[in-house]
Amino acid sequence: MPDTLPPTPDPLHPSLDRLLIVDDNEEIRTQLKWALVKDYEVFVAGDRSTALEVFESQRPAVMTLDLGLPPLPQDVEEGFETLGAVLQKDPATKVIVITGRDEREHALRAVGQGAYDYFCKPIQIEELKVVLRRAYHLSRLEREHRELLRRVAGDSFEGMLGASPQIQEVFAAIRKVATTDAPVLTTGESGSGKELVARAIHRQSARRDGAFVAINCGAIPDTLLESELFGHEKGAFTGAHIQRKGRIETAQGGTLFLDEIGELSPLLQVKLLRFLQEHRIERLGGREEIQIDVRVIAATNTDLKQAMNNGRFREDLYYRLGVVIISVPPLRERQGDISLLAKAMLSRFSVENGNKITGFTAGALRALETHSWPGNIRELENRIRRAVVMAEGSKLTPDDLQLDGGFSPTASLNLREAREALERTLVQRALMRNKGRLTQAAADLGISRPTLYELMEKLGIGKK
Ligand SMILES: Nc1ncnc2c1ncn2[C@@H]1O[C@H](COP(=O)(O)OP(=O)(O)OP(=O)(O)O)[C@@H](O)[C@H]1O
Ligand SMILES: [Mg+2]
């Protein structure tokens, strides 16, 4: 391994060949600088504030830190402060702590707090050089690893992966609403990532240090849901032995996520509406009004507009909740994201399983691309998690994924029926991919628009 590494022009990354030496003893600083200047671009600092200033402007990948710094060089607290501040700015920094011969307990404490290694005085230059080389080596490996992960993952945003324009639009919407306190309604098919969107909004918002409290309105019986949401006083109903805060109150200062909002009963719809209008609640059986400061995000995988038309969902509540609507597209409509997500999940589950699975067969990739993913990303996750455990070979096949590899005619079909079944599958998928737009679907299938129209007539497929 070479002693020197090429300088890195990227300002976002720590410079791999910069070294910061922090020591209160000027003689040691000069000595180290001269010994190491051939191998690294060396910066020196004699106290905490200079050290942090240099660290901030130069972002060295590695630093040596003498724990005894002024104003009390006999004490180590200034050194520990410096260590903590540096690691807070960049946890990947490799800090090598330098201590006196009989200060092992300080050295171990420093390593416990995130220092990379320690070194005892008197400093032996050749030994220190070895430690430094290892630190730079590790730093470079970690950085390569991060970059690889990022490349596998494509664009990632708050734990959400996806490079398709469809999901990028969602990311942009999240960034935008995160700066406001407006209620958000996320809509989308089951497993498409609605809760992840809600969490991302919370983490991007000024409320990120507050709680994120989720409640599934569809999973809790109505009678319980009311006290879950609003809380109750002691003796409010049979069994209410103690006073309890509801989820709304628990979310104080943070974000409340109301999942499956379409399942809310008419009574609770009214109560929720009142809370949204007044930002106040009363616990069940309570008389005192409690002022509430929470951001509300709701989710639904049912068509609330239709529920509204049928009188099952209040219009006023709908408009209160859906000040901003973020609709999460189904996976099958995110061009290119399926294989990107599949590969990222494969490497994750494969590592977790200590497995030797290295990828997908071409057939598996095709099957992944053509499957319609009714369960969206959760379904993809489940199929890959299972396949990684069950697979025999080193690459996942359509069988491992329990996908049919595109099309599997059952034995009972004659040739005409089999052809029609295949045509129907392909036409339906093309229509789905292109949201019913005939011209694009025809282009996808490599046929003209009139031919597609004829096929649809013959197969009895209606234009969506
Ligand atoms: N863009 C994404 N990148 C990576 N993982 C994702 C992405 N979107 C969703 N997931 C994962 O898919 C799973 C389902 O996501 P989530 O629970 O947010 O979906 P949902 O829309 O709330 O589903 P449901 O309607 O069933 O409640 C989760 O494990 C989540 O981490
Ligand atoms: Mg959900």
In tens, the pLDDT along 17-60 reads 899 999 999 999 999 999 999 999 999 999 999 999 999 989 99
Q: Which atom of ligand 1 is nearest to the CA of 196?
A: 18
Residue 166 CB neighbour total at 10 angstroms: 18
How would residue 150 be classed by pLDDT, with cut points 50, 70 and 90?
low
Q: What is the pLDDT of residues 325-339, one digit of tens each?
A: 999 999 999 978 999
pLDDT of residue 167: 93
Q: What is the mean pLDDT of residues 202-227?
A: 93
With left for phi above 0 and alpha for psi between -120 and 50, is residue 455 left, alpha or beta? alpha
Q: What is the pLDDT of residues 420-431, one digit of tens each?
A: 878 888 888 888
Q: What is the mean pLDDT of residues 386-397?
A: 90
Q: State how far the Cα of 279 lies from the Cα of 252, in Å rounded to an integer.
A: 11
Q: What share of the chain is helix, strand, coil (3-state, %, to 5)?
A: 50, 15, 35
pLDDT of residue 159: 87
pLDDT of residue 256: 98
CATH number of 158-327: 3.40.50.300
pLDDT above 90: residue 259: yes
Q: Poorest-confidence range of 185-189, 233-237, 328-332?
A: 233-237
Does residue 192 have its Cβ closer than 6 Å to ligand 1?
yes
- Pair of tokens at residue 159: 């734990």
pLDDT of residue 239: 84
Phi then psi for 280, rounded to 5 degrees?
-140, 150
pLDDT above 50: residue 10: no
Half-sphere exposure of 383 (CA within 13 A, CB side): 26
Residue spans per domain, the chain:
15-151, 158-327, 332-396, 415-459
Does residue 377 have its Cβ closer than 6 Å to ligand 1?
yes
pLDDT of residue 151: 64
The residue whose CA has the least distance to atom 8 of ligand 1 is: 193
Phi then psi for 74, rounded to 5 degrees?
-80, -15
Does residue 166 have its Cβ closer than 6 Å to ligand 1?
no
Does residue 154 have its Cβ closer than 6 Å to ligand 1?
no
Q: State how far the Cα of 251 lies from the Cα of 463, in Å rounded to an integer.
A: 46
Q: What is the mean pLDDT of residues 60-73?
A: 91
Does residue 160 have its Cβ closer than 6 Å to ligand 1?
yes
Report whether CATH 1.10.8.60 matches the domain 332-396.
Answer: yes
Q: What is the pLDDT of residues 87-120, one digit of tens each?
A: 988 888 999 999 887 788 899 999 999 999 998 8
The residue whose CA has the least distance to atom 10 of ligand 1 is: 193
Tell me the ligand closest to 330's alpha carbon. 1
pLDDT above 50: residue 433: yes
Q: Poorest-confidence range of 126-140, 234-248, 289-303, 351-365?
A: 351-365
**Could you tell me which residues come within 8 angstroms of residue 232 by beta carbon, excluding any fewer than 6 positions away?**
240, 243, 244, 246, 283, 284, 285, 286
Q: Poorest-confidence range of 209-223, 345-359, 396-410?
A: 396-410
How would residue 3 be classed by pLDDT, with cut points 50, 70 and 90?
very low
Report whether CATH 3.40.50.2300 matches the domain 15-151.
Answer: yes
pLDDT above 50: residue 1: no
Does residue 158 have its Cβ closer than 6 Å to ligand 1?
no
Average pLDDT value over all residues in the chain: 88
How would residue 417 be classed by pLDDT, with cut points 50, 70 and 90?
confident
Q: State how far the Cα of 307 lies from the Cα of 45, in Å rounded to an integer.
A: 67
158-327 against 332-396: fold identical = no
Q: How far does the centroid of ligand 1 lie from the alpha carbon of residue 160, in Å?
A: 9
* CA-wise closest residue to 89 among 136, 57, 112, 116: 57
Query: pTM here?
Result: 0.62
pLDDT above 80: residue 16: no
Q: What is the pLDDT of residues 343-389, one digit of tens each?
A: 989 988 887 777 678 899 999 998 998 888 989 999 999 999 999 98
- Pair of tokens at residue 257: 């996520």
Mutate to test the pocket of ligand 1, among 196, 335, 340 (most ligand atoms within 8 A of CB): 196
pLDDT above 60: residue 153: no
The residue whose CA has the least distance to atom 23 of ligand 1 is: 191
